[in-house]
Structure 1
Amino acid sequence: MPAATPQAAATGVKVGQPAPDFTLTDLDGKTVHLADYKGKTVVLEWFNPGCPFVQKAHREGALKDMAARVADKGVVWLAINSGAAGKQGHGKEANVKARDEFGMKHPILLDETGATGRAYGAERTPHMYVIDPKGIVVYAGAIDSTRGGEPEKDEKVTNHVDVALSELAEGKPISMAQTEAYGCSVKY
């Protein structure tokens, strides 16, 4: 796996601000509008099926079955691919293949213009955002603390999204509301 390059988003939404609204189409042609989920907790995962970090996370890492597990608690999970035409991981066919291979049951939304990714400041895949039921971004950053997708021997790994979701459900402030995302660059 290539070395991680952590980088904070220089532009885009900040933690504590309203989540930028969007309307995108999923792989089945269904229109998904973020505003339709007002009153629910939403997780956004920037996705690229060609990215080794995304592949590892979905096959055996922090993202394996996580969306299904939190869906049982009423959390909406949306993967967004902001890859442009001709770039790694772009296109419906590559994303359908990955959805099937990874066993993903949640929508993968195509943002081919990159407008939604830029509105959020998504820099990496995976780059994660948690939106509270009021529509406020309460977490932005890495899926976990591995800083590269693969834990070192005896490393205690913290799943930042899991922690944020648990604290949000308990009505607590998010203890680590922002981290540096690691992974592949978003292929705008």
Structure 2
Amino acid sequence: MPSFVRQLSLSLAAALLAVNAQAAVKVGEPAPNFSLPGSDGKTHALADYPGKTVVLEWTNDGCPFVKKHYGSGNMQSLQKSYTGQGVIWLSVISSAPGKQGHVDAAGARALSQSRGASPTQVLLDDQGTVGRLYQAKTTPHLYVIDPSGKLAYAGGIDSIASADPEDIPAATPYLKNALDEVLAGKPVTVAVTKPYGCSVKY
């Protein structure tokens, strides 16, 4: 019985630590550092980009909501526009092996080429560690980290939660607006929105 109680206590403590770690990821607070393998075969860490504005984009090429933004060219346009302004754009794939959207490094490179994507790096989060750390819920799910290392935006790419590309022009472009404000040194007006898309396939 004592060992059972001790084990239960340890389990509860671990659960509380997990909850506290999840709760720690908040807009306005420092974005937690991480490192992941990239599609280029190298390891990349958030700490590699001090003083930079960073976008984290959770993606899954099999998701119709992701296809909406890549099939229309919207995501690629944002990537090219903002990386051209010095923004670091990290596309994160947290799909587990055997689940929709999972690719290896070679598959990720081929995917970027086939859809004309141009993020700074594609990061492979097979175990879902970083996705869970940032509480990424959907694909796409977008985060903006400002040059001071604080999380400045978390949420959807825009305001219309559909898989129809024709809705893009009428939507409020939450991500674009947040990036423009961060790059201008202004506080983000709408810093948290509800993401929409497919569930991340942990």
Compute the TM-score of the two structures, normalised by the length of structure 1: 0.88
After superposition, the C-alpha distances for 1:51-80 in whole angstroms (9 at most, x for unaligned) are 111122112053132111111111000000
Three-state SS of the structure 2 residue aligned to 1:145 is coil
Match of 2:115 among 90, 102, 114: 102
* Percent of aligned positions that are identical: 48
Q: Does 1:177 align with 2:191?
A: yes
Task: Report the alpha carbon displacement of residue 152 of structure 1 after superposing the two structures with TM.
Answer: 6.6
Match of 1:15 among 27, 39, 43: 27
Q: Distance in 1 between matches of 2:63 and 2:24?
A: 22
Q: Distance in 2 between matches of 1:86 and 1:156?
A: 36
Partner of 1:186: 200
Q: Distance in 1 between matches of 2:159 and 2:74?
A: 10
Partner of 1:148: 162
Higher relative contact order (CA 8 A, sep 6+): 1
Change in 2 beyond 3 A, CA 1:153/1:60 = closer
Partner of 1:6: none
Q: Distance in 2 between matches of 1:166 and 1:35?
A: 22
Question: Is the Cα–Cα contact under 8 Å of residues 53 and 183 in structure 1 kept in the other structure?
Answer: yes
Larger radius of gyration: 2
Structure 2 residues not aligned, in runs of 5+ = 1-21
Structure 1 residues not aligned, in runs of 5+ = 1-9
Q: Distance in 2 between matches of 1:75 and 1:154?
A: 22
User: Which of the two has greater helix per residue?
Assistant: 2
Three-state SS of the structure 1 residue aligned to 2:177 is helix
Match of 1:133 among 135, 138, 147: 147
Q: What RMSD over aligned residues (CA atoms) do the two structures have, in Å?
A: 1.9
The number of aligned residues is 179
